[in-house]
Amino acid sequence: MKNRLRVLRAEQEWTQADLAAALEVSRQTVNAIETERYEPSLTLAFKIARLFGQPIEEIFISEDRQKK
């Protein structure tokens, strides 16, 4: 699954550590999500969406949606 987390974080001028603090996760988790090595749980995905004020599907793009 692709995601726009790095772009959204850069727009806010947050570091990975800032975002990790806001989401109450480790910086490693933020990095793993950004580099698409880890797909977050639904709970964390909702938390990310709420933090950036965007719907989940605007941040996380599934492979099927990309093909369409």
Partner 1 sequence: MTTPPNSCESDRRRRERWLLILGIGWLFDYGLALAVIGSELLPAGVRPVVALLPVPMFGVFMALLISVLRRLDELERRIHLTALAVAVPVGVVGLMCAGLLADWMDAGARHTALRFAWAVLPVAYGVCYAVVRRRYA
* Footprint on this chain of partner 1 (rule: CB under 8 A): 12-14, 17-22, 24-26, 28-29, 31-32, 37-38, 40-41, 44, 51
Q: Which is nearer to partner 1, 50 or 65 (CB)?
A: 50
Q: Which is nearer to partner 1, 4 or 18 (CB)?
A: 18
Residue 7 CB, nearest distance to partner 1 (Å)? 16
Q: DSSP secondary structure string, 1-68?
A: -EE-HHHHHHHHT--HHHHHHHHTS-HHHHHHHHTTS-PPPHHHHHHHHHHHTS-HHHHEE-HHHHH-
